[in-house]
Structure 1
Amino acid sequence: MSHHLKNEFKFVVTGVELTEDQQQLVGRAIAQAAAPALGELAPRAALPVAVNPKVWWYGDPAKEVLAPVQDYAAGQVGMR
């Protein structure tokens, strides 16, 4: 999968005022729903990352980023 490909999706809510916590909740729910919808299309190591409460990135992180995350996760589950 090329790192140059990009698909962007938007979800707009009108007619209601949302608190910052509610915005985060909605943003997280949308990101969580999108990940399984991509199924086999996404890279195996794809991760959702909150850029801000309203913007999420979902993709295959660079190896320099993924390795420390994997090390941290291994420590959290007692595998280091």
Structure 2
Amino acid sequence: MLPVVLTTFYAFYIDRIGVFDILVEKYSMTSIMISHNMKDPIDYSDIIVMLDKGRVVLDKANKDIIEKELIEIYRKNLEFGTKSA
């Protein structure tokens, strides 16, 4: 089966959960989600990997992280990432 790419623009207009369920369960596919919405990884993933300028700042199983912790890590890296060197 060829790779399937869903952009956020397309996903905005369709039932994302339904699409992920079909791809993951019916076709035994692994999906990679890229999102700036902190709720998406909590809702749809088993493992959350957060990158900042190509550097891994978080790599945890979804069950081991709470949304508040995810947002704190995001904000911390966003704040430090915007400062001039």
TM-score (norm 1): 0.31
TM-score (norm 2): 0.30
Larger relative contact order (CA 8 Å, sep ≥ 6):
1
Higher fraction of helix: 2
